[in-house]
Structure 1
Amino acid sequence: MNLNEFFNELKRRNVFKGTVSYLVFSWVLLQVIAILSPIINAPAWFGKMLLIILIVLLPVWICISWFFEITADGIKKTKNVPREKSISQKTGQKLNTFIIAFLALAIILLFVDRFRLRAEKKETAIATETIPEKSIAVLPFSDITPDKQQGYFADGLAEEVLNSLVKINELQVTSRTSAFSFKNKAMDLPEIAKALHVSYILEGSVRAQDSTLRVSVNLVETKTDNNIWSQTWEKELKNIFKIQNEIAEAVAENLQLRILDNIIPKVKESNTEAYELFLEGRYVFRSNIDEASLIESEQLIKQSLAIDSTYVPALVLLGNIYHVQNNYGTIDFEQAKKVTSQIAERAIKADSTYAETYAFMALSSLEYENDIGKAAKLTNKALSLEPNNETALHRASEIALLRGNAEEAINILKKVLAIDPLNANNYYALANTYYMAKKFPEAELNIKKSIKLDPDQDLAYSQLALTLMYQKRYKEALKVIEKEPLEGFQLHVQAMIYYFLGDTEKSDAALNKLTKEFEKAWGFQIASTYAVLNNETQMYFWLEKARTNNDLGLIELPYEPTFEPYRDQPRFKEFIKKLNYKY
């Protein structure tokens, strides 16, 4: 058979039309999958796997088209069908109809996909470009005191002004973490405004000398970069709270918000010395969280409360210090539970309108009482007092996730990011929520944003390594986990990755070191490691040990992906019941 005869035979057997019909059908199928994947939350690998299968099957289809033919009596080998009885011409016509119909469908799907992408881009662009008219960022005030020893005081005053403005529901106020991230950075205000997505910026300076305080503030409209208002206060230090209220009210008026003076709640005044100690303690607590800093900040806040035992922000801060000390093992679970409960009672008694108190009590209810329902009520109370309170919004997100509402949890965190867009912790929280929802590509995207904002934070590299591990990118995950500052979490993740890579020797070595050196602190992580290694006996042993040690990580047990294979086991369900979660 010469080349011309072979070509004609390909045409007669409808090999060309069969191939074209296969390609058109494949294209339509891939288009349908691309459109439906985001809706049905299909994993990222599904489309790629389907494409590979279709490519592999193409030669098979071509061979079938050559060797087999559709006849009136069914499918037969082409060589067994006499030419005079062949209906390949009719089959070819049907294939023509098939190709035209699916090409039309492909064009429709192409337009649908283009429209969808255009709509998504437009939505993203609108979300990116639209800056709320009534939005403001309060930058850290500059310390212009000659000895430069009032930095914590300047920061504290700016933050208190910010906290007063947050109480105005009509005004979107950028959170402290994002606004203060520009401290000591040589950037123009329009550039800062663009990053923070705000229409106004309040900047100021503080000069404290002897018993006199001089505060100057400027309100800048970022669109025009015009200084639309400025004012200076010079008063005795004992009037610091009055100054704070005056600044907040003046800013609100100059933003032309139609509010009454009493819309902005007056700040409860404290003793000046107590307030300075509070500011210094908060500054130490936020600067560097380690055991030494926790002890120093605790001492400063206790000194402040010794002077004024009813200053609620100091009480709530002390409660948070004790909670973090429990995480670091400085105080045990029972002690932390007792002191945080006592502090909450004191705070509510002193001021029942302070939103942060209810947010703190919600955290205590979650971690010390396993009472999700109670935490939800306390969080709702906090948000009723301050709808944009960032701490309360984080609690609301955690509660939504614990109740199985992952999408709600994600949406709440997106709201947090709108008011605090440069906070690495917020992206970490969003990444962790996506991880718990088993949306690993989204988790990877957000944890990378978190690391970009703060490359030195604890747990972020563990989170990234886990998301890579669940996408079967083991070698990448192994490189990432080496950067994790917390050795216990590094060993936890390494043991799992080496297991998947088939290196049982290194996996066992990492796990043995983890159990030997971090037995009490991270029992939950050890149980999680054994879960991945398919060692049920050790998994349940360490879960029981974590329960005995009141490991706070157990609150994530119902949704932690490492335990996914065991969720339907009666023994696992019984263990969950023993944790006594109250929903």
Structure 2
Amino acid sequence: MNLNDFFNELKRRNVFKGTVSYLIFSWVLLQVISILGPIINAPIWFGKMILIILIVLLPVWICISWFFEITTDGIKKTKNVPKEKSITQKTGQKLNTFIIAFLAIAIILLFVDRFRLRSENKENAIALETKADKSIAVLPFSDMSPNQQQEYFADGLAEEVLNSLAKINELQVTSRTSAFSFKNKNIDLQEIARTLNVSYILEGSVRTQDSIIRVNVNLVETDGDNNIWSQTWEKELTNIFQIQNEIAEAVAENLQLRILDNIIPSVTESNTDAYALFLEGRYIYQNNYNVESLLKSERLLKQSLAIDSTYAAALITLGNIYHSQNNYGIIDYETGKKLTYDVAEKAIKADSTYAEIYAFMSLLSLEYENDIGKAGKLAQKALQLDPNNETALHRASEVALLRGNTEEAIAIHKRVIKIDPVNASNYYSLANTYYMANNFKEAEKHIEESIRLNPNQDVAYSLYALILINQEKYNQALEVIKKEPLVGFRLHTEAIIYHFLGDHEKTETAIMKLIADHEKSWSYQIAATYAVLEKEDKMYYWLEKAHANKDLGLIELPNEPMFEAYRNQARFKDFIKKLGYKY
């Protein structure tokens, strides 16, 4: 058979049309998966798996088209069908109809996909857009009181003004962490504005003496450093919320923004003593994250709530303190769970419109209930009440990551960085998400920025070292991990580094010390270490220990790259099921 005859035979047997039909069907199937995947929360690997299967089956389909033929009596080998009895021409016509029909479907799906991408890009553009003419940072107010003993009070007032302004949808407000990072630093307002990318800065001072409070605020337009508005309040220290709302409303008016009745919270009478205790307790909790400060801030919040038990912000702050005490081992898992749920229940009864409550409950759903679906709904509820609530955005990104939607998680993190650009923990979270997505180059870039902003943070150097390990930069990782403040994470990561460097003695020394000193606190990290060391039985043993110890780190198990080699094992899948994650 010459080449021309072979070509004609390919046409007669409908090999070309069969191949085209297969390719069009495959493309349509992949488009359907692409469109429906996010809706049904299909894992990120599902589409890739289908693509690989389709590629592998293509040559099989071509061979079938050549060697077999559809006849009126069923499918037969082509060589056994006389040409005069062949119905390949009719089959070819049916294939033409099939191709046309699926091409039409393909065109429809193409338009749907383009529309979807355009909508997503528009949503992302809205979420990430910087409104330069309507952006503001509220700097910490200066304490001008005698002996300067009211710093917590000045910080608290500035934060409450910031929170009120953040409820105005038309206004982009830099988060507290970034705005307060310039506290006690002699930096020009123009430089602060460039760093935070804002057009306005609100600065102020607070002076309290006896029962009188004097608050002075200045609104500065950073383009030209123009002081466009200032005002002073001097009032009896009876209702600090009234002062807070007056300042927020005045700033909004001077920025010529439209304020709806429900934007600025209605003013309620408050007990001054309770509020002062709340501000002091929150100040200590936010600025001194250690065992002593956690206990002291707890005492102050309890004293505040003993005076006014219905203040939702104080209740949620106390809930966060209990959660942190659980992480530090000050209280056990069951005690921490009961206390946090108790304050959340009281807070929602006190104020069901306070977004921070739902963001906090989202965290509890993740860590205590393994209910990812519920956590997502609670985070969305918080964002409906406060679209720029940073805590709720963090919870939403965690939910997206746990569902395998890494692109969505990354987009949310970038949105957070827009409103909180000099917060080291935000860059850490983004780096960790890139790490979970196996994008180690981007992860390295953002963890370096996180460490630049805060060189003393826990776990950051451990994550940095793990990112380097995955790029086979073992000696660099070894230098990095020496700076990790948390001993448990340092030993965990050192054991892995020495394993890849071939120093089995140091690997064993590190992991034995990790087990001896931190068996209960770091059981999940011990399991992860053995996962990398390819000691499967020990890995499963410590995963069971982590489950028994109610180790909160287990929530990362479905995405942690260190367990990648075991994901398809029936035993690993059974363990994941036992954790009871609800998606």
Structure 1 residue 267, shift from structure 2 partner = 4.6
CA contact (8 A) 1:285 1:297 kept: yes
Q: 1:501 to 1:201 in 2, by over 3 A?
A: same
Which AA in structure 1 matches 2:418? A
Q: Distance in 1 between matches of 2:424 and 2:346?
A: 32
Q: Distance in 2 between matches of 1:572 and 1:239?
A: 57
CA contact (8 A) 1:131 1:197 kept: no
Structure 1 residue 461, shift from structure 2 partner = 0.4
Residue in 1 that maps onto 2:60:
none
Structure 1 residue 259, shift from structure 2 partner = 2.3
Q: Distance in 1 between matches of 2:441 and 2:268?
A: 46
Q: Distance in 1 between matches of 2:300 and 2:239?
A: 22
SS in 2 for 1:217: strand
Q: Distance in 2 between matches of 1:179 and 1:168?
A: 18
Residue in 2 that maps onto 1:333:
333
1:459 aligns with 2:459: yes
Q: Structure 1: which 5+ runs fail to align?
A: 1-40, 42-126
Residue in 2 that maps onto 1:573:
573
CA contact (8 A) 2:239 2:270 kept: no
Residue in 2 that maps onto 1:289:
289
Residue in 2 that maps onto 1:439:
439
Q: 1:129 to 1:385 in 2, by over 3 A?
A: closer
Residue in 1 that maps onto 2:218:
218
Q: Distance in 2 between matches of 1:525 and 1:389?
A: 31
Residue in 1 that maps onto 2:499:
499
Structure 1 residue 261, shift from structure 2 partner = 5.2
Structure 1 residue 265, shift from structure 2 partner = 1.8
Superposed CA offset, 1:457-486 (max 9, x none): 100100100000100000000000000000
Q: How does 1:476-555 map to 2 (within 5 A)?
A: 476-555=476-555
Which AA in structure 2 matches 1:530? Y
Superposed CA offset, 1:148-193 (max 9, x none): 0010000000000000001101100000000000111111111110
Q: Distance in 2 between matches of 1:489 and 1:446?
A: 20
Which AA in structure 1 matches 2:473? R
Superposed CA offset, 1:509-565 (max 9, x none): 000000111000010000000000000000000000000000000000000000000
Residue in 1 that maps onto 2:29:
none
Q: Distance in 2 between matches of 1:458 and 1:229?
A: 42
Q: How does 1:86-105 map to 2 (within 5 A)?
A: none
CA contact (8 A) 1:181 1:422 kept: yes
Residue in 1 that maps onto 2:65:
none
Q: Distance in 2 between matches of 1:435 and 1:206?
A: 44
Q: Distance in 2 between matches of 1:178 and 1:251?
A: 20
Superposed CA offset, 1:401-449 (max 9, x none): 0000001000000000000000001001001111111111111110110
Q: Distance in 1 between matches of 2:417 and 2:476?
A: 28
CA contact (8 A) 1:249 1:261 kept: no
Q: How does 1:195-344 map to 2 (within 5 A)?
A: 195-260=195-260, 262-344=262-344
Residue in 2 that maps onto 1:143:
143
Q: Distance in 2 between matches of 1:263 and 1:397?
A: 26
SS in 1 for 2:147: coil
Q: Distance in 2 between matches of 1:320 and 1:188?
A: 34
Q: Distance in 2 between matches of 1:262 and 1:516?
A: 56
Q: Distance in 2 between matches of 1:399 and 1:259?
A: 32
Report which structure shows greater RCO (CA 8 Å, sep ≥6): 2
TM-score, normalising length: structure 1: 0.77
Q: Distance in 2 between matches of 1:456 and 1:400?
A: 28
Structure 1 residue 287, shift from structure 2 partner = 1.2
TM-score, normalising length: structure 2: 0.77
Q: Structure 2: which 5+ runs fail to align?
A: 1-43, 45-126
More displaced, 365-374 or 127-136? Answer: 127-136
CA contact (8 A) 1:142 1:151 kept: yes
1:152 aligns with 2:172: no
Residue in 2 that maps onto 1:189:
189
Residue in 1 that maps onto 2:37:
none
Q: 1:260 to 1:582 in 2, by over 3 A?
A: closer
CA-atom RMSD, angstroms? 1.4
Which AA in structure 2 matches 1:393? L
1:402 aligns with 2:402: yes
Structure 1 residue 129, shift from structure 2 partner = 12
Q: Distance in 2 between matches of 1:538 and 1:267?
A: 58
Structure 1 residue 288, shift from structure 2 partner = 1.4
Which AA in structure 2 matches 1:219? L
